[in-house]
Structure 1
Amino acid sequence: MIKYGEQKEKIINYVMKVAKIIENLNPMLFYVEQDDLEFSFMKALKERNPEWSTGIVDYYTNQGYGKKHNHTGVEGAIKVLEARRNLELEIFDMLKMKKEKINNTKYEIDSYRSMLKDKLTIQMVK
């Protein structure tokens, strides 16, 4: 929602309402994060074709938050992603549900898959 330029309070209220609605389902939230957002974004840009890279940069900078703050180019897209991450982490801390942060900085997919499986198994046993 930050991409669309929605107000912070509106986004927080929306997420908290959804959390309240699903509360009885006993959900578990996994938040995947990176230590260096800029490095991760640049890595994705290098690994994908130029059309995707141009499209994703435009996606973040030519509407809502990016446009409102005059963010342009790759640097602008990163600023939008940083703003989104900051709000996501703020909301994550506010949520009163089972939750876990998963740091994906090392890109070890098999390790993360195993960790997720273990955490979900533990969640199911409780």
Structure 2
Amino acid sequence: HPIRFDWDEPWADMPAIQLAQSAAVHWRTYVNLATMSERITVVDGQLFHGNLTALFLLDADTALMRGYVHEVVTAIEPLRPLLIYFNQDDVERAIRTVAAERGDAWVTYQVDWKLSSPYAVRHGLVGLDGLIELYRNYRKLTDLLYAELDIPKISIENSRREWSKYEATIDTILMYPPGVAEAANLD
């Protein structure tokens, strides 16, 4: 993805500040190109996933992560963004459901990768339970950031997997200008 900062360096060789600065440059470059286009773009999972996840795993402090997200949001304002925040109230159930669906190979990959990170090592996270705890803490961060953002946004709890209902909600919010959706109690 043109926004996601790809790095080949091990955890210890990538300071969080370097990742945040490089990722912010990617966003600004993307916005410059997107403002010249007539197309509407969907940037799937890149505000609270991808680079932010990497910053979290690198054990960046909250101020750095908050600053990074706010810098990105400032950069994308000319694109008139709508943030759609999919989440599930029960993080443990969500992770265990995905683990059951994707199997042991997926769990092993996730655990080996994410729990070798500076964040996980500092917190002593191990195994599937450690991965669940990591995501509980990450969810607290993204909930905080979501609440702080002053852009058009909608939060959708999607544990029921009623995708046609969620799509209809998104379609509705896209049809109304900012302020109308809040009055309709869609957020």
TM-score exceeds 0.5: yes
Q: Does 1:23 align with 2:77?
A: yes
Q: Does 1:67 align with 2:121?
A: yes
In the alignment, residue 30 of structure 1 is paired with which amino acid?
I
Select the structure that is richer in strand: 1
1:118 deviates by 2.2
Q: Does 1:7 align with 2:61?
A: yes
Aligned positions of 1:18-57 closer than 5 A = 18-57=72-111
The structure with the larger Rg is 2
Partner residue in 2 for 1:88: 142
d(CA) in 2 for partners of 1:2 and 1:42?
21
1:15 deviates by 0.5
d(CA) in 1 for partners of 2:100 and 2:173?
32
d(CA) in 2 for partners of 1:109 and 1:59?
30
User: Cα RMSD over matched residues?
Assistant: 1.7
Is this contact kept in 2: 1:6–1:64, CA < 8 A? no
Moved segments of 4+, more than 4 Å: none
- Count of aligned positions: 125
1:121 deviates by 2.9
Pair 117,51 (structure 1): closer, same or farther in 2 beyond 3 Å: same
d(CA) in 2 for partners of 1:58 and 1:119?
39
1:29-88 CA-partner distances (Å, limit 9, x unpaired): 111110101001000000113211211122221112111211001111111111111111
d(CA) in 2 for partners of 1:6 and 1:102?
27
Which of the pair has the greater relative contact order for Cα pairs under 8 Å at 6+ separation? Answer: 1
For structure 1, the residue ranges without an aligned partner over 5 or more in a row are none
1:77-105 CA-partner distances (Å, limit 9, x unpaired): 11111111111111111111111100102
Select the structure that is richer in helix: 1
